[in-house]
Every structure is written in structure tokens, then in C-alpha cells.
Structure 1
Amino acid sequence: MSPGSYTNPVFGGYFADPFVLAAEGRYYAFGTGAGTTAQSLLGLVSDDLVTWTELGSVLTPGALDGATHLWAPEVAHMGDEYVMYYSAGIEDKAHRLRVATAPHPAGPYRDLGASLTPQEPFAIDPHPFQDPDGSWYLYYAVDRLESARVGTAVVVDRLLAPDRLAGNPQPVIVPSADWQLFLAGRAMYDAVYDWHTCEGPFVLYRQGRYWCLYSGGNWQQPSYGVSVASAPHPLGPWEEAPSDGPLVVRTRPGVVHGPGHASVVTDDAGTDWLVYHAWDPAGTARRMCLDRLAWTDRGPVCAGPTTDPQPGPTVRSGR
């Protein structure tokens, strides 16, 4: 069955960095709220991807090494438990990746007390991905000062266990284009750089290749949006088509600003849907949006951001 039509945003509250997991017959969304500490990590549940019910905070507070801001939770089903990855820092500084577990997708998740990236001065946006061969990888964003375009890049490392990385991150998305500029003359790490940003990775396997969606640029600029690179293996090498802007979805000036940090969920008809956050023109909040993701011979393309009624996802009755 289909719920008929829907109109973005599909959830009216503040809900950034949305990730949707299909589990135990329902859809669970995890995102960043406007609060601090454990109240930052929020959950929603839905039967149709359109109508969402709030679960509230999904993380049990624990010792977080003084962190005050928690960002971008994503959840994977590993064995008999659900594993949440997220970052913890102080405002926008010194974020490290952390992990928490729960026996049910709704949580509450219990932090395991481990930092997955102690060697990184800044690490955010963890995305767990299971290869069709069963291997697990973690994609995430880090700061890199040695590249031609200094800034935030996406890397990938093998997950040896839910709470342990191999410690050998490989590059996935390295800033390479003018549209990825976040801020010229930005003071960072005791120096000043023209800072570029590529973040919010999400990986899926389609058309015999691996595709990494990511957000790039400055959300306040018209060039901001979600782009994509592809590779023959989860560790690369990754290739990206040259472009003057993001290839999947981008800002609609005066209508929808800063569409980014996307995830993909597949409905019961096999259609892929892009789930992302976007600001209203007044900049009051980041809200969860949903648009159909189409696959072409050049990769994924989204017709959004849409603001008018759209045909909804196909979901089995009694799911």
C-alpha cells in the first residue's frame, strides 16, 4: 500500500543529520536535535516513512569525556544487537567517534565508553556499512591539512569489531572543487586556510559499484548540496565526475536551503528514497525531508528538494 501523497518536511521538529533504518517491521529515524549532551540524539518511528512519532532521546547518559554536543547518530544491526555510532565534542571542537549498543532499535542505547578515533583531532559523521560479502566498514569525516584543498574530508576504515577500527583510514572524498569551499581565510589549527568541507558520508551498493553520497560546501551558499563518488571496492579507489556543483541534490535559492547529510532507505517496491535535512529560507531549523532517488547510467539523481505534494513510498499493509 502507499500512504498517498506527502509534502516536505516529513517531520516538523528540529531533526538534523537524519538516518533511517528499516528494522523489526518498522522504520526508525535517528538524528541530531537542538539540545546538548544526550538530549542531542533523537529518535523517531514510522510505519510508512511519512508519518513519524517521536521517541525522544535514544542515548542513556554516561561518561562522555566532558563532551557537551553529540552529533549525527547512525545505527547498524550487528548480530543480536543494534549498534549506534555518533560523534561527541565541545560545541564544534574536538569531536571523537563513539559507539553505543541496544537490544532494540528504539533504544535506549548504552555508550560503551570507547573512543574509536583517539588519534584524530576532529572526527564526525560516522556511517557503518556492511559489504555484500559480510565485511563491515566505517566511513567518517576528518580534518586534513596536507591536501591541496585544506579542510574536512571523508575516509574509510575497516571495522574489526563494533567498537574497534583497524586504524588505517583510507581517503574516500578529498576536497577537489571550488563549490566545496566552506570559508575563505578560516582560522583553524593555529593557522588560516581557505577551508573546504566534504562530510556526511553514506554508502550503498548499486549497479555493481559502491556509491558514496556526501555533503559539500557551505550550507549558506547556493552551491551547497549532496554529491556522489563511486568505486569498485569499499576501500576505493574512488572516482568523482567533474562538476560545478553537487550532482545529487542542491539548494533551491529562496525555497530550500542547505539540503544535506543524506541517507537512503528502500521501500517495499524496491524504490530508493533520499532522506536529508534542509533549512527553511528563514533559517529557523533543519528538518527531515524525503525525495525519490533515481538511478541513471551516471549514478543517483534526486529531483528534489521538493516542496509540493509528492507520491509517497510503497509500504506493505501491516508492516
Structure 2
Amino acid sequence: MATEGSLISPSFAEFRKRSLPSHIIESQKKEALAMVSEKESEDEQPRQVQPSLIKRYFYKKASISGTGDSGSDEETILRFSFLSRGFITLAVLLCMIIVATLCAVLATIYVRHHDKEEALRRSPVHEAVFANFADPAVIEHEGLFYAFATTNAAGILAQPHNTTVVDYGRSNVQIATSPDFKNWTQLDYKHDPLPSMGNWVKSGLTEKQVPKANVWAPAVIRRATDNKFILYYSAAAENATRSHCIGAAISETSSPAGPYSPLNTTIACPISKGGAIDPSPFIDTDGSFYVVYKVDGNNVGNGGICGNSVPPLASTPIKLQRMNADGVTPEGLDVTILDRIEQDGPLVEAPVLVKSAEGIYFLFFSSGCTRDPSYDVKYAWSKNIEGPYRRASKPLLKTDDFDLNAPGSIGLTDLGDGTFGMVFHARVETLYGRVRAMYTSIIRFHGTKVVIDRKNVVS
């Protein structure tokens, strides 16, 4: 039974039921049921999964045979593709990075090469003979420079067994010529200035078919008595196991190029002390004739670097021998004018003696070991040819100077203008091993100092 309140204020729903016709109410019910059904249908459908970043940019749609959901014969799937926009974008970026890197590398190489060429062009030191042209000596005659060197079979380091040098060991003494001290031409073995040697020299060939004589460090000078040229050389002695001795040969022509006829006597041959090598002639301003050379003491050392770094170290004295005017006959006893000290390492060798315009004698020599970077060029000076000689405070040339490796064993010739042309060797890499190529420079004297002159700079 309704209360008074309910009769007076019926609910809104009851009011609508009483107010609306039945067919409208039925229609609204159907619409509401339809909406509920549609919502339930949407909730039952699986949510569509968004593809990952990799699939979106590195996969492409592809069709495969089969029956798809729609009943067709092909089905569409996603597959990795090199033609996808992601891969193409990465490829383009990678190519751009590679090109930019290559450009940077090439630019760096070009700049370094240009800088190196410029440095070489402005360097007072120049490569003259790119071959195994060791222990060079030089002389000028009638406007032509002649350089003489050790046999090219000597002193090659890291030599491949399957590689041979052109004219390997066929020339006892090598020769090269130049009209201007800058451009050099190396002559072949047919121009050997010393095709034969004295009978004191070891004869025959080694297993490698090179002469056992193993000629080292030739040097040439012109004597005043008859204007003939004398070639000094050191070679393996017949009566020794491995020691060298020093001999001489006289030119058969009026040219420093020879050929030379050998003498059958030696100038120095101290076998028991290791032998003698590196002869270098010198004529003083008063006409006195000398030959300086090295006693090869490290040849009988106790082993180690260059045979002489294991105590007690052997002496390797540089000797001064006065000669008769003929240049081939010793006069009196030799004099020791220099010997190795601790700072020299295993040896001193390759002496060259010259006199400055101021009357100061300069003795050039090498120390260290020619097989490693310790090899260098040093000098000492004296006002008396027999000494004592005072050493310079630092080397004239050493490894890394002017991009050189183990420079040493110089030769000098007076250029007549207050300077001397200098030749020397330094180690270089070739297809047939690490050899000693010839370089050139110019030096001048300032009191008791020697400086490398820039006269030899290419303009």
C-alpha cells in the first residue's frame, strides 16, 4: 500500500513508464541491448599489436603461397629486406662515413708526403746511390766526381735466401760518377777499377759464388811524382782465417776510374791484432804523404755487438802511417792517433784525415756498430798531425738526423771554395735486405768546429 509520499512524488522511471507508449519503450530496450552486444563484441576481439622499430624499418611485406585467412592462395607476411628503408638509410650513412674517412686518410697521407718531400728537398743531405754502396770514398778529377765503394756482397742484413742482387759480388770495387755531386750514376761490374788483386789476397769463390777477397773501403788519391792515381783497399788475407790487410794498386790510365794494377806487397797487415781495414790517404800542404787506417781489433774481440762488447774489450786503434813519396812504401813506424773509449761502444773505424785552411787537422771516424743504429760520424781535431786529437762534443751525424739510419764511414773531397764534398753510407730497406746506400752532403770548417753546409740544398 503506497504511502502518502509515494502517491504524491512517484519516481522518474515510473513516471516515464506511465507516460510513454509501450511500443516506444520496447524500441528503446532493443537499442540498449544492441549497444551492449556491440560493446561485448569489441571486447572479445584481440588487440592489434604494434610492430617493433626493427620490423617497421627493416622488414618489408612479402607474399608467400598458401591459403590465407580470406581463403586466397597467397598470404602476406613481414620479412627482413636489404631493400627496406631502414637498411638503405644505414647503408647510405655507412658509405658516407667510409668516404669521409678515406678522404681524411688520403688528405693526411698527401700532407705528410708533401711535407716529407719538402723536408727532403730542403735537406742538406741527399740520397745519391740507392744500392749496397758502402764505405764510399770520393775524388774529383777534371770536373767529374768519382765515388768508390766496398763490394756489394758485403754487409747485407736480413737478406732473403731467394733474392739476389744484380751483379752480386762480381765487382771487387764499385764505382759511381757525377758531374755535379748531386746526380750520380752507378757503373756495372764491367767497370770494376780493381779486376785483380795482389797475390797476398785470398783467392777463390765462396758457396754463394762471390770472391773470398771480400774487398772493403777503397780510397783513391793522385800522387805528385808522376800524376798517377793510387787505389788503396783492404781485402781478406790468404794467410789468415778471416782478417783483412791493406794493399795498393796503381792506375794504368790517367783516369781515377782505372783499371789499376795491384802490388804484391801489403802496407799494413797485423794479423795477430785482428788485421787492418779502412785505408785513407792524405797529402799534407808540405807534400808529406800519409795513410790512416784502423787496426781491426774487434775482429779478435770476445764477442757481442760487432764482436767486441764482452769484457775485456779489444783495442781498435786508428793508425797514422807516413809514406814514401810514391805513396805505397811505408816510412818508419805507425803512430796511434785515436782509440775507442767507452762512449764509442765496440769500436772506432773508417778514419779520414783533412786539413782546414786555418791549418787545423780534422780526423773523422765512425763509432758504434755498423749493423745497428748506434753507428755514427764523429770527428776530432789537432794542430799537429800526430796529435793529440781533441774530440768534438757531439757527433757530426747520427741515427735520426735527416731521417738517416746508422750513418757512417765518410769520404771527403776538397771543392776548392772552402767547403768539402762529403759522401757516406746509411742503412736502407730494399727487396734484397737492409743495405748501406750512399748519401752526399757539404761540410765546412769554422775554427775547430765542423758544420754541415746548406750549399747542397736543392732550390
Query: Which bracket does the TM-score occupy, shorter chain normalised?
Result: 0.7 to 0.9
1:26 and 1:312 mapped to 2: Cα distance? 19
Residue equivalent to 2:404: 256
Structure 1 residue 24 corresponds to structure 2 residue 142: yes
Question: Aligned-pair distance for 1:173?
Answer: 1.5
* AA at the equivalent of 1:150: A
1:208 and 1:44 mapped to 2: Cα distance? 31
Say if 2:137 and 2:219, in contact at 8 Å, map to a contact too.
Answer: yes
The CA RMSD measured in Å over matched residues stands at 3.1
2:360 and 2:129 mapped to 1: Cα distance? 32
Give the structure with the larger strand fraction: 1
Compare relative contact order (CA 8 Å, sep 6+) and give the higher one, 1 or 2.
1
Number of aligned residue pairs: 288
Question: Aligned-pair distance for 1:291?
Answer: 1.8
1:24 and 1:253 mapped to 2: Cα distance? 33
After superposition, give the CA deviation of every residue in 1:113-146 in whole Å (9 maximum; x if it has no partner). 1111234441000011000000000100004599
Say if 2:200 and 2:265, in contact at 8 Å, map to a contact too.
Answer: no
* AA at the equivalent of 2:452: C
1:224 and 1:98 mapped to 2: Cα distance? 26
Residue equivalent to 2:34: none
The residue matched to 2:171 in structure 1 has which SS? helix
Residue equivalent to 2:457: 311
Residue equivalent to 2:247: 98
Among 368, 380, 383, which residue is 1:229 paired with?
Answer: 380
C-alpha spacing 1:151/1:52, structure 2 compared with 1 (3 Å): same
Among 416, 419, 422, which residue is 1:274 paired with?
Answer: 422
* AA at the equivalent of 2:329: R
Say if 2:129 and 2:186, in contact at 8 Å, map to a contact too.
Answer: no
Give the structure with the larger helix fraction: 2
* AA at the equivalent of 1:115: T
Say if 2:200 and 2:264, in contact at 8 Å, map to a contact too.
Answer: yes
C-alpha spacing 1:258/1:113, structure 2 compared with 1 (3 Å): same
Please say which structure displays the higher CA radius of gyration.
Answer: 2
**Structure 1 alignment gaps of length 5 or more:** 182-195, 305-309, 314-319
* AA at the equivalent of 2:314: V
Question: TM-score, structure 1 length as denominator?
Answer: 0.80
Residue equivalent to 2:221: 76
Residue equivalent to 2:97: none
Structure 1 residue 45 corresponds to structure 2 residue 210: no
C-alpha spacing 1:303/1:177, structure 2 compared with 1 (3 Å): farther
**Equivalences for residues 108-123 of structure 1 within 5 A:** 108-121=259-272, 122-123=275-276
Question: TM-score, structure 2 length as denominator?
Answer: 0.57
Among 265, 282, 294, which residue is 1:129 paired with?
Answer: 282
* AA at the equivalent of 1:250: K
Structure 1 residue 66 corresponds to structure 2 residue 202: yes
Structure 1 residue 201 corresponds to structure 2 residue 338: no
Question: Aligned-pair distance for 1:254?
Answer: 11
Say if 2:244 and 2:269, in contact at 8 Å, map to a contact too.
Answer: no
Structure 1 residue 168 corresponds to structure 2 residue 333: yes
Question: Aligned-pair distance for 1:274?
Answer: 2.1
The residue matched to 1:164 in structure 2 has which SS? coil
**Structure 2 alignment gaps of length 5 or more:** 1-120, 155-168, 204-211, 302-311
